[in-house]
Structure 1
Amino acid sequence: MRLHKNHIRLECLKPAERWTRPTGEEVREVLRLAGLTGGAAAKKLGLGAKGDRTVRRWIGEDSNIPYAAWALLCDFAGLGEIWRD
């Protein structure tokens, strides 16, 4: 398992067709790098009124983060446009 310098596996930073879903800890780390709380991330992602609960479910691994949401969070965190080769 190869990690990005910020404790995110490199396979989680790939275009969708080669992407490995991040763990809850990796979601938490991307939020930290982006300087976002769960509520702020939910607003930036347009998740609606109960979006902070959705983000908590991603962190708790109760539900899977969609690729599009992950890719945007990675961009907000300064990890680049992972959807591009």
Structure 2
Amino acid sequence: MSDFYTHIRPECLVPWVQGWKQPTGVEVREVIRRAGLTGSEAAVLVGLSGKGASRQIRRWISGESHIPYAAWALLCHAAGLGNIWLIQVDEMRELRREHPVE
């Protein structure tokens, strides 16, 4: 078995308010692999339930639908990529001043 890791773009590993970019399906697959999870286990981790839960994971991997930031952040944490959602309160306030929500 190879130790080859697919590259995950840095802009996918930042807080949402700092310009998070949607990961590709390949990146989603890689994060699930690094976490050591099956599709079903990944679904449970991010709070998906029901018979369509595993299918939703496959949709994210295929690029058929986008993964929500919260689900991505949980998977990144499980994969050992850190708490990508953390941001200092003062930094967040400054970002909001620069880019107000309408």
Common fold: TM-score over 0.5: yes
Letter matched to residue 42 of structure 2 = A
1:14 aligns to 2:6 (yes or no): no
Deviation at residue 84 of structure 1 after TM alignment: 1.1
Per-residue deviation, residues 24-52 of structure 1 (Å, max 9, x unmatched): 00000000000011111001111011210
Equivalent residue runs for 1:27-42 within 5 Å? 27-42=28-43
Greater Cα shift, 8-17 or 44-53: 44-53
SS at match of 2:84: coil
Letter matched to residue 42 of structure 1 = A
Q: Hey, what does 1:67 align to over in structure 2? A: 69
Structure 1 residue ranges without an equivalent (≥5):
none
| Mapped partners of 1:33, 1:76: distance in 2 | 8
1:54 aligns to 2:66 (yes or no): no
Give identity over the alignment, percent. 59
Size of the alignment, in residue pairs?
Answer: 81
Moved beyond 3 Å, runs of 4+: none
8 Å Cα contact 2:59-2:65 kept in structure 1: yes
| Mapped partners of 2:6, 2:54: distance in 1 | 23
| Mapped partners of 1:20, 1:38: distance in 2 | 22
- After TM superposition, the score normalised by the length of structure 2 is 0.76
| Mapped partners of 1:6, 1:28: distance in 2 | 9
Structure 2 residue ranges without an equivalent (≥5):
88-102
Cα RMSD after superposing both structures: 1.2
